Amino acid sequence: MAELDNIPQTQSIEIATAKIEQDVLKSMNELNSKINLLISDFGQIYIRKKEMSEELIRLDDILERAEDEFKSANNQMKEIVDSLDEEYPQGRINLQEGTIQYQPGAPTRKQQEQMAAEQRQQQSSDLKVVKE
């Protein structure tokens, strides 16, 4: 009979139902609707933010490619200008007319840069340190 003591016993629980007051029920329904709208707004904001983040990544990629192209085009232009400077020293290019004004016999820009560097080096070696 000790085995019968181990059999679970059923218990009854009393549950009561009451009516909620109309003004409280109305407030709860309005707040529930507002909460549902906010949850929907949060979802839309999250999705839009994610789309914008992905768009920024795409724009960064485009910007990086454009910067690389700009550097390349700028280097090509510099090479052309440098080669023109060798032939036409101190040239001023007019792209609309397709002409270049230059000073025959003048030093090229590259030669001017070398002379300026030599002068700076000479000036720095001419400076003397004076101890007091």
Judge whether residue 130 has pLDDT over 60: no
Verdict on whether the full-model pTM lies above 0.85: no
pLDDT at position 100: 92
The tens digit of pLDDT for each residue in 64-78 reads 999 999 999 999 999
Residue 90 to residue 100: CA distance in whole angstroms: 10
Residue among 86, 93, 88 nearest 104 (CA)? 88
Give tens-digit pLDDT for 33-68: 999 999 999 999 999 999 999 999 999 999 999 999
